[in-house]
């Protein structure tokens, strides 16, 4: 059963497909309910506003099939960037409820003038992950990933499997049962991203 990259109108879809192809994994980009219903694994990418993402998922009639795949059939799911944030219960961006697959909150970066940190957080950042976690297997050096985001998911030990620091510690990878999400862009993170996508594809 194939990996389906869900096309809900937002996200760097072709880059993810290209990375998977480079690794030797077949995938399809689709917004078709029947195609998504037959998926063995789902990738939910995303770039842009949380509210627009949820609006598109609902207006394209994808909510029911996504809930069925993730919550009932429990197929492996990977959310990327906005796709990870959509997995949470709620976002401060537009005060919008998310898919609520992982009971976490998405919050806006707020810094003091003294911290002199710009928003969005953009660029390469080191990631600390739980030892021996399957999503981060195979790294022989400190992994660094490419980030571009103005909102973050709160760090919670129960669901966070990796964290990064930008002003403070935040969750950059989360997991609940069959569902994982990463705040960074593996498709822009060269060998580090290739390794992570391969781990998901072969799980």
Q: Which residues are catalytic?
A: 81, 185, 187
Of the candidates 106, 101, 105, which has an alpha carbon nearest to the alpha carbon of residue 177?
101
Residue with tokens 């571009």: 148
DSSP H or E run through 195: helix 190-202
Q: Is 59 left (phi over 0), alpha (psi -120 to 50) or beta?
A: alpha
64 Rama sector, left if φ>0, alpha if ψ -120 to 50, beta otherwise? alpha
CA neighbor of 48 nearest in space, from 90, 94, 5, 117: 94
CA distance 122 to 194: 20
């Amino acid at each position: 059963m194939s990996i389906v990259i869900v096309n809900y109108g937002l996200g760097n879809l072709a880059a993810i497909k290209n990375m998977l192809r480079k690794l030797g994994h077949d995938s399809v980009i689709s917004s078709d309910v029947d195609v998504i219903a037959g998926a063995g694994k789902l990738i939910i990418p995303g770039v842009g506003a949380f509210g627009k993402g949820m609006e598109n998922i609902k207006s394209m009639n994808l909510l029911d099939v996504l809930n069925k795949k993730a919550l009932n059939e429990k197929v492996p799911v990977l959310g990327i960037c906005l796709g990870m944030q959509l997995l949470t219960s709620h976002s401060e961006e537009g005060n919008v409820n998310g898919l609520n697959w992982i009971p976490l909150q998405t919050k806006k970066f707020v810094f003091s003038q003294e911290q002199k940190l710009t928003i969005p957080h953009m660029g390469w950042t080191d990631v600390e992950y739980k030892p021996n976690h399957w999503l981060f297997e195979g790294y022989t050096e400190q992994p660094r990933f490419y980030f571009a985001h103005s909102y973050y998911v709160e760090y919670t030990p129960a669901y966070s499997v990796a964290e990064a620091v930008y002003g403070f510690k935040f969750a950059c990878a989360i997991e609940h049962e069959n569902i994982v999400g990463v705040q960074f862009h593996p498709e822009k993170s060269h060998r580090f991203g290739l390794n992570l996508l391969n781990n998901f594809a072969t799980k």
